[in-house]
């Protein structure tokens, strides 16, 4: 579960165990480049609905450069947190994507279907907030498809505002404090 090697700037302080609503536990840590196989496995064997909802497409990123982009983050403006079960299998991934030229960052989360409705998504999204604030990010935005009631409910519970429908996607935002 713990990475064998970590890149410069790896925020070890974000490694933690989280207890979920049903009492089960997940280990959460920042993603590292060595997690590329985990991401590829999740995309290859993940359910099509999760892929469609996360990437707004029936096909996930498959080019090596696209996959590397997902696992190579700077831990400041771009951060991804991986959740694993007690045996070390990946069960969820959350991330924010920002830049030093903006006080806003986009957040996203994907959860294995067998781990949904346990509070994984909300815990991962909350875990992104402190490092985002430390990076100088003032607002998180999220985009989702209008039929994705599950993420709409999670984001509403976390204090994201009312959604605005634009070009077929709902956008919500949350001011970080």
From edge to edge, which strands make up the β-sheet containing 139-144? 16-19, 25-30, 78-84, 90-97, 104-111, 139-144, 169-175, 164-166
Structure tokens, 113: 């279907």
Domain ranges of the chain: 12-175
pTM for the predicted model, two decimal places: 0.88
For 12-175, CATH gives 3.40.630.30
Interval 97-150: pLDDT, tens: 999 999 999 999 989 889 999 999 999 999 999 999 999 999 999 999 999 999
């Amino acid at each position: 579960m713990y990475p064998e090697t970590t890149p410069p700037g790896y925020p070890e302080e974000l490694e933690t165990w989280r207890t979920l609503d049903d009492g089960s536990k997940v280990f959460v840590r920042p993603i590292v480049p060595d997690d590329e196989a985990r991401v590829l496995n999740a995309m290859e064997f993940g359910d099509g609905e999760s892929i469609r909802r996360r990437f707004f497409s029936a096909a996930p990123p498959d080019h090596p450069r696209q996959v590397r982009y997902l696992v190579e983050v700077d831990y400041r403006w771009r951060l991804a947190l991986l959740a694993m079960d007690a045996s070390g299998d990946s069960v969820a991934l959350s991330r924010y994507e920002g830049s030093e030229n903006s006080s806003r960052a986009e957040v996203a989360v994907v959860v294995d279907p067998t781990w949904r409705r346990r509070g994984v998504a909300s815990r991962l999204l909350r875990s992104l907030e402190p490092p985002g604030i430390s990076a100088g990010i003032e607002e998180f935005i999220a985009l989702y498809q209008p039929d994705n009631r599950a993420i709409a409910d999670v984001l509403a519970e976390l204090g994201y505002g009312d959604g605005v429908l634009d070009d077929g996607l709902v956008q919500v935002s949350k001011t970080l404090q």
